[in-house]
């Protein structure tokens, strides 16, 4: 068991509701210049869940499970800003109204830009939900620290999930972290330069087929833990040689330039203090036995 400050982190109850699917008035353009009109962000998405492939869907920026906000009309301000910032990967969610009152789900991450909190629920629960249902998030995790690893910073991570991640000491001051995929620094796109990573995500660009094949990016699943090589996320999202960040895949591949599967950051270090270890089961579904497991 890792030595943490979990007994001193703050716990909030946050309330939100499902956000209807978003659509635009105009055609969107993909990386080859072709127009498309497809399902995108938002919604109670019935046939996507954590553990499913992040590629191959007829959609763009798809969010598995239930996309949530506090205020659908003003997603980028209070109180939705607090929902995004204080809800963490692995937090428990509970429906408190409607036909599925009492059903539980799991937060898998946050999606910037649209400012959605993405929550996984079983399909049989989603089929009986409405967009008026109220969901309570047991928000905890921001401020969590690894007391024996001061050079590693945590964000957006529920302490119970940290315990399940099967981290181990690689060497003095260095942690070995299971991940499914190593992501080269040149692939990180939309979301770079953000002032902090306590909300939102940034995208793994997938416009170059050779790089996608080399790093097996097209095998990513929703909920995968991935290693972002040479990326320092301590004070925003930045390139730094020797740095390493760990994140979770929160939305699908994308057709627009500069975009691809989205990553919510959970761990980062500016120096070589995180050693990624490849493991195909390093996924929220497999760790928590929810969604689609392998």
pLDDT in tens, 93-126: 999 999 999 999 999 999 999 999 999 999 999 9
- Number of other CB atoms surrounding residue 69 within 10 Å: 23
Q: Which of 140, 175, 195 is the last residue of a domain?
A: 140
- Number of other CB atoms surrounding residue 32 within 10 Å: 8
pLDDT of residue 64: 97
Residues 182 and 267 in one domain: yes
For 49, the token pair is: 């869940």
Terminal CA-CA length for the chain: 25
pLDDT of residue 1: 79
pLDDT of residue 72: 85
Residue 223 placed within a domain: yes
Domain that holds residue 59: 6-140
For 210, the token pair is: 């050779």
How far is 30 from 144, CA to CA, in rounded Å? 39
How far is 155 from 89, CA to CA, in rounded Å? 9
pLDDT in tens, 147-157: 999 999 999 99
Residues 166 and 264 in one domain: yes
Contact at 8 Å (CB) between 110 and 116? yes
Residues 233 and 257 in one domain: yes
pLDDT of residue 216: 97
Residue 1 placed within a domain: no
Closest C-alpha to 201, from 158, 172, 233, 162? 233
Q: Domain with 100 in it: what CATH number?
A: 2.40.10.170
pLDDT of residue 172: 86
Q: Which of 83, 107, 140 is the last residue of a domain?
A: 140
For 109, the token pair is: 């991450």
How far is 124 from 141, CA to CA, in rounded Å? 29
pLDDT of residue 211: 97
Q: Tell me how many domains the chain contains.
A: 2
Residues 122 and 232 in one domain: no
DSSP string, 109-131: EEETTTTEEEEE--HHHHTT--T
Residues 169 and 282 in one domain: yes
How far is 75 from 90, CA to CA, in rounded Å? 22
How far is 60 from 54, CA to CA, in rounded Å? 10
Alpha carbon of 238 to those of 17, 100, 156, 181, 248: distances in Å? 33, 42, 18, 19, 17
Weakly modelled stretches of the chain, pLDDT under 50: none
């Amino acid at each position: 068991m890792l030595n943490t400050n979990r007994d001193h982190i703050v716990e909030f109850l946050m309330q939100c509701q499902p956000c209807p699917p978003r659509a635009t008035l105009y055609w969107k353009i993909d990386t080859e210049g072709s127009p498309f009109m497809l399902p995108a962000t938002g919604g109670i998405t019935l046939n996507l869940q954590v553990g499913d492939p992040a590629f191959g869907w007829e959609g763009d920026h798809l969010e598995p499970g239930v996309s949530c906000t506090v205020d659908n009309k003003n997603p980028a301000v209070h109180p939705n800003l607090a929902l995004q910032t204080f809800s963490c990967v692995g937090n428990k969610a509970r429906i408190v109204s409607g036909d599925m009152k009492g059903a539980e789900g799991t937060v898998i991450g946050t999606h910037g830009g649209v400012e959605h909190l993405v929550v996984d629920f079983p399909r049989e629960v989603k089929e009986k939900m409405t967009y008026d249902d109220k969901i309570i998030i047991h928000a905890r995790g921001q401020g969590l620290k690894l007391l024996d690893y001061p050079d590693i910073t945590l964000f957006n991570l529920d302490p119970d999930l940290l315990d399940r991640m099967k981290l181990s000491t690689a060497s003095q001051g260095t942690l070995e972290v299971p991940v499914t995929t190593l992501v080269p620094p040149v692939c990180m796109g939309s979301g770079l330069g953000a002032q902090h990573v306590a909300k939102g995500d940034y995208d793994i660009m997938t416009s170059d087929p050779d790089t996608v094949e080399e790093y097996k990016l097209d095998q990513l699943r929703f909920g995968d833990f991935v290693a972002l090589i040479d990326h320092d996320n301590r004070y925003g999202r930045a390139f730094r040689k020797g740095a390493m960040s760990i994140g979770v895949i929160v939305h699908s591949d994308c057709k627009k330039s500069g975009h691809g599967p989205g990553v919510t950051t959970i761990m980062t270090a500016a120096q070589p203090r995180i050693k990624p270890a490849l493991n195909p089961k390093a996924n929220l579904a497999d760790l928590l036995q929810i969604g689609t497991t392998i």
